Amino acid sequence: MFVRTASERDLVAIRALLVETWHATYDAIYGAAKVTEITDEWHSIASLKARLTRPNSEFLVADDGKRIGGMVFAAATTDQKIVLLNQLYVHPDYQRRGIGRMLLEEIEASFPEARTLRVEVEEANAPAIAFYRAQGFLTAGNTADCGGGSGLPALIFERPLG
Ligand SMILES: CC(C)(COP(=O)(O)OP(=O)(O)OC[C@H]1O[C@@H](n2cnc3c(N)ncnc32)[C@H](O)[C@@H]1OP(=O)(O)O)[C@@H](O)C(=O)NCCC(=O)NCCS
């Protein structure tokens, strides 16, 4: 797997990756119907396409030449020193092979001005919490509205950069 910038021709494959990974991760927490509702909105081709051109952001994929195994989208907040990791998803077939760590490292290198990397994590998503803790993230509070507009509570984790 190598990491590269996402492009418009990847969007169908990225959407498929997100839908499959979301169902595998969140059906047991939110129920399949709610997951379908969220992925239809957040991971529509139009929503993903808008991210390709968002200023101060990075949209990357992990690709082995045949298949996209993971994706990450991160963007600077209004405070340019804080970067929010909006999405980090590795397909279930490819998890625990270092791809998540690789994508995270590339994001860190992409925002040299940033001092803090922040992520919101569903508190029932124990594997993701274990992953972020293993990468040096620490608890920094919580939010009642994960992702903005979802109404879902989440834990906030942060890692200092630089
Ligand atoms: C969480 C996720 C991004 C991690 O990516 P990954 O490629 O599977 O993780 P890596 O192989 O890079 O793991 C690096 C280290 O993190 C820790 N880690 C990762 N997954 C873990 C798990 N399920 N349980 C415990 N520790 C874990 C381990 O220390 C691991 O190192 P090791 O495999 O040498 O022990 C990925 O599993 C995923 O996409 N999960 C489903 C979606 C999700 O929850 N995304 C995050 C939303 S906020």
CA distance linking residue 131 with residue 96, whole number of Å: 9
Q: Which helix (H) or strand (E) holds 10?
A: none
Output the residue whose Cα is nearest ligand 1's atom 48.
121
User: How far does the centroid of ligand 1 lie from the alpha carbon of residue 126, in Å?
Assistant: 10
The residues spanned by each domain of the chain are 2-160
pTM of the model: 0.96
Tell me the pLDDT of the chain (162 aa) as tens digits.
999 999 999 999 999 999 999 999 999 999 999 999 999 999 999 999 999 999 999 999 999 999 999 999 999 999 989 999 999 999 999 999 999 999 999 999 999 999 999 999 999 999 999 999 999 999 999 999 888 778 889 999 999 997
- Which of ligand 1's atoms lies nearest the C-alpha of 89? 39
- Which of ligand 1's atoms lies nearest the C-alpha of 135? 16
* pLDDT tens figures, 77-95: 999 899 999 999 999 999 9
Ligand 1 pocket test, candidate residues 20, 131, 156, most atoms within 8 A of CB: 131
Measured CA to CA in angstroms, residue 15 lies from 12, 62, 74, 103, 106 at distances of: 5, 14, 16, 17, 21
CA distance linking residue 47 with residue 35, whole number of Å: 16
User: How far does the centroid of ligand 1 lie from the alpha carbon of residue 96, in Å?
Assistant: 6
- The fold of the 2-160 domain, in CATH, is Aminopeptidase (3.40.630)
Task: Report the number of secondary-structure helices (H) and strands (E) in the chain.
Answer: 5, 7
**Exposure pattern of 89-108 as b/e (b: 16+ CB <10 Å)?**
bbbeebbeeebbebbbebbb
CA distance linking residue 39 with residue 42, whole number of Å: 5
Supply the DSSP symbol for 154.
E
What token pair was written down for 137? 């993230």
pLDDT at 151: 84
